[in-house]
Structure 1
Amino acid sequence: MNIENNPLIQPSAASLARASLGLTAIALGLCGLLYSAAAAGLGQALFPDQANGSMIVENDRILGSSLVAQPFAQAKYFHPRPSAANYDPMAMAGSNLARTNPELHKAVEERLKRIAAQEQVAEERIPADLVTASGSGIDPEISAASALIQVRRVAEARHLPEQAVLDLVQQQTIQPDWGVLGKARVNVLELNLALDRMQ
């Protein structure tokens, strides 16, 4: 008896197609629909602020997200890290330039000179995060040291006492997680909004 040609042992092409389509439909239903709906629902129930993008809303107007950097350039505002993505969340990316790349060295040197002149500090005092872009290109935070070297400029531009601006930076400083992970940092958007409210 030839097993290969026996219709009782070998499934037909139609039954194979039916089984494949059925498995595909079940996988899409479970993984593509039910799992996604459950994860989204759980996120909304447990972490509604984060699930909705951590939006900052004032007077029914969205001012931005605490998770996304914005390009502040005016002297009266604290400035964020440089962005290789031009602060665009849809184009998040680092510069992808190696540490030995001459273009990166040139960009860092230019930023050092500009910031040293702008903040009236020596180049060696400028923290690395003010002259290098983050991996995402939209990092919303700068180190506390990066905020502190901007205090004088912001205070002068706003005609405020330096101590008042310094106190605000200290209030807005986020300490390392659990006291050991990361370093003291400041969310630039939240700090600038607090400055505007102060005036």
Structure 2
Amino acid sequence: MKKHLIPAAVLTLVMLVFFTVIYPMAVWGIAQFSPNWGKGEIIEHEGRHHYANIGHSFIRDDYFWSRPSAVDYNAGGSGGSNKGPSNEEYLASVQARIDTFLLHNPGIDKSQIPVDLITASGSGLDPHISIQAAEVQVARVARERNLPEDTVSELVASQTEKPLLGIFGPARINVLKLNLALDNLSE
């Protein structure tokens, strides 16, 4: 018995020190080489600070809409809805999002709505939407802001973030940055 208890106790202590001291210090050290020292990307606009790494709620017609959030964009408690695709309540909320989107975007067919505009991400804090999700909103935003659609499309293209190292993940658009650029364009 002693033959098994001593190695188990030693392994427990080593793992305790590793995961509570060494690993967090290594992650902190690596973060010191990142922009803003690992505190996220902070954008100041009109005297307010916004975190570009956290999703924000945009629901006005003159802005590009964000991906829905199951946690109402509360960074203090991220998480998904945990409801499966056969859950009636979940299906009703997705259908309500589809109906709302179609109401505010006349001329768009249900099949043209990208999934990221009607389903929440796993964290509920995703700050990005797909290029398709931005492009399907161009007509509404251009109409509401009295701008040519080509101008708004060019803005979407200029705000597109390429995949990490050109290969990891899809191209995407940060909704906060896009909407702030849209405000600057309209001024």
The TM-score by the shorter chain falls in which range? 0.7 to 0.9
Task: For 1:74, give the aligned amino acid.
Answer: R
Q: How many residues matched?
A: 173
Contact 1:94 1:136 in 2 (8 A): yes
SS in structure 1 of the partner of residue 59 of structure 2? coil
Q: Which residue of 1 aligns with 2:31?
A: 43
Q: Which residue of 1 aligns with 2:169?
A: 182
For structure 2, the residue ranges without an aligned partner over 5 or more in a row are 1-12
Give the direction of change, closer, same or farther, for the CA distance of 1:119–1:41 in structure 2 (3 Å limit).
Answer: same
1:176 Cα deviation after fit? 2.8
Distance 2:67 2:90 in 1: 15
Q: Which residue of 2 aligns with 1:95?
A: 81
For structure 1, the residue ranges without an aligned partner over 5 or more in a row are 1-23
1:41 Cα deviation after fit? 4.1
Q: Which residue of 2 aligns with 1:78?
A: 64
Distance 1:162 1:179 in 2: 28
Task: For 2:80, give the aligned amino acid.
Answer: G
Give the direction of change, closer, same or farther, for the CA distance of 1:39–1:183 in structure 2 (3 Å limit).
Answer: closer
1:109-139 Cα offsets, whole Å, 9 max, x none, are: 1111110121111111101110000000010
SS in structure 2 of the partner of residue 91 of structure 1? coil
1:65 aligns with 2:51: yes
Distance 1:77 1:188 in 2: 9
Structure 1 window deviating more from structure 2 (167-176 vs 46-55): it is 46-55
Of 123, 127, 130 in structure 2, the residue corresponding to residue 143 of structure 1 is: 130
1:52 aligns with 2:44: no
1:108 aligns with 2:94: yes
1:65 Cα deviation after fit? 1.1
Distance 1:34 1:116 in 2: 51
Report the aligned-residue RMSD: 2.4
1:183 Cα deviation after fit? 2.1
Q: Which residue of 2 aligns with 1:19?
A: none
Q: Relative contact order, CA 8 A, sep 6+: which one is greater?
A: 2
Q: So what's the TM-score if we normalise by structure 1? A: 0.77
Q: Which has the larger radius of gyration?
A: 1
